[in-house]
Amino acid sequence: MLYSAFQAQADVLEPFKLMAEAFAGPLSHPRAKDHPNVLLRGWLAANDVFSRFKLTHHRPSFEIDSVTLPDGREVGITEEAAMRTPFGTLLRFKKDVPIEQPPVLLVAPMSGHFATLLRETARTMLQDHDVYITDWHNAREVPLKAGQFGLDEYVEHLMRFLEAIGPGAHMMAICQPCVPALAATALMAQDNHPAQPRSLSLLAGPIDCRINPTSVNQLATSKPYEWFEKKMIQTVPWRHRGGGRKVYPGFVQLTAFMSMNLERHLNAFNELYGNLVDGQPESLAKATATQTFYEEYFAVSDLPAEFYLQTIKRVFQDYDLARGELTWRGNRIEPEAIRRTALFTVEGERDDICSIGL
């Protein structure tokens, strides 16, 4: 019901937002910033700000067309789907010239946004790595016939992606996927798989949420599993390809994220309005940066209900991995089996989700 209400509201507001975009367009004209009428500039700026209060459900572009190598050469980049499933694509940023560089798999969070949040990470690593990324699909666009996608399927995807890349790849997981990344590495070590990663970097991940719990961790334990199942899970409207699928909506996650720093977001939009009205080059540069950030931030992606609920239960409530009880398709995961993979961990001291010591 909540998803249908959200969709209905979006449909009602869409004509007004399109009108605001049309009126805001003149603001980009070179003469707009110099117009002597501050009221006109204020009106155009208000239209621009209003038009940006709009969520999209499609992945933005990575916008990585080239990269400068350590030797100073600039080479073109082409996006290539190395592997594709209904729930995700193993996306490779292929360099247009043959060059031997170590492959690395960037494991993006499946947490309400798209993998493009790691755009700058990918751009930086492309200088000296052959970069692949987990380009997770929006669950509301995945047909019901594709089946479910839970924590087991996530781990399986990582193992299949590593197999597709081949032996010698490095893996870097950011935040939420640190648990499935560690699980996949352990399982491949248990099988002595030739494609087990050469190194595993875990960045601010919820490995053991019993230690230094954040407000997000405390919320997960303050409610029973059934509460999350009843309150957080919605059904995708039938107008979408994934109609009928149970999901944790991206717009719900975005609301939660914004509520954690609401004052900062309100100030950002106030500053955006002021910078647009001011119209000076420095102010417009700041406005452009804010606009770019929120275009990305307001691009939301739904999570499969199974994955969301199992993560709540097995990672944030029961601490299965930390207690040595995490399983994959009934098989116990043994991190102690990891011998050939170098491990590197980075803690997020100011992270809202995973504090230091996790």
Neighbours of 227 (CB within 10 A): 11
Neighbours of 127 (CB within 10 A): 12
What b/e string do you get for 51-85 counting C-beta neighbours within 10 Å, with b at 16 or more? bbebeebebbebebeebeeeeeeeeebeeeeebeb
| Model confidence, pTM | 0.88
Percent of the chain with pLDDT over 90: 63
Say yes or no to pLDDT of 48 above 80.
no
Q: Are 132 and 91 in contact (CB under 8 A)?
A: yes
Domain ranges of the chain: 2-54+250-297, 66-212+324-346
Say yes or no to pLDDT of 145 above 60.
yes
Backbone angles phi, psi at 71, to 5 degrees: -85, 5
Say yes or no to pLDDT of 234 above 70.
yes
d(Cα 307, Cα 150) in Å, to the nearest integer? 4
Q: Which of 103, 168, 101, 158 is nearest to 132 (CA)?
A: 103
d(Cα 9, Cα 4) in Å, to the nearest integer? 9
Q: Are 301 and 112 in contact (CB under 8 A)?
A: yes
What is the average pLDDT score of the chain? 89
Q: Which tokens in the block code for residue 4?
A: 């249908």
What is 66-212+324-346's CATH number, 2.40.128, 3.10.20, 3.40.50, 2.20.25?
Answer: 3.40.50
Q: Are 141 and 163 in contact (CB under 8 A)?
A: no
d(Cα 160, Cα 230) in Å, to the nearest integer? 33
Instruction: Region of 329 please: left (phi>0), alpha (psi -120 to 50) or beta.
Output: left
Answer with the residue of higher pLDDT: 209 or 167. 167
Question: 328 has which bridge partners?
Answer: 331
pLDDT at position 343 is 97
d(Cα 14, Cα 247) in Å, to the nearest integer? 23
Instruction: Region of 259 please: left (phi>0), alpha (psi -120 to 50) or beta.
Output: alpha
Backbone angles phi, psi at 309, to 5 degrees: -65, -40
pLDDT at position 218 is 85
pLDDT at position 96 is 94
Say yes or no to pLDDT of 52 above 90.
no
pLDDT tens for 65-122 read 999 999 999 999 999 999 999 999 999 999 999 999 999 999 999 999 999 999 999 9
pLDDT at position 294 is 86
pLDDT at position 164 is 98
Q: ∠ CA 304-348-206 to the nearest 5 degrees?
A: 40
pLDDT at position 271 is 87
Q: Which residues contact 127 (CB under 8 A, 6 or more apart)?
A: 67, 68, 69, 70
d(Cα 315, Cα 309) in Å, to the nearest integer? 10
Strands 246-248 and 234-235: antiparallel
The stretch 260-274 carries a mean pLDDT of 84
pLDDT at position 40 is 66
Question: 88 has which bridge partners?
Answer: 136
Say yes or no to pLDDT of 142 above 60.
yes
Q: Which tokens in the block code for residue 124?
A: 């930086």
pLDDT at position 187 is 98
Least confident interval from 76-85, 154-163, 267-276, 300-309: 267-276
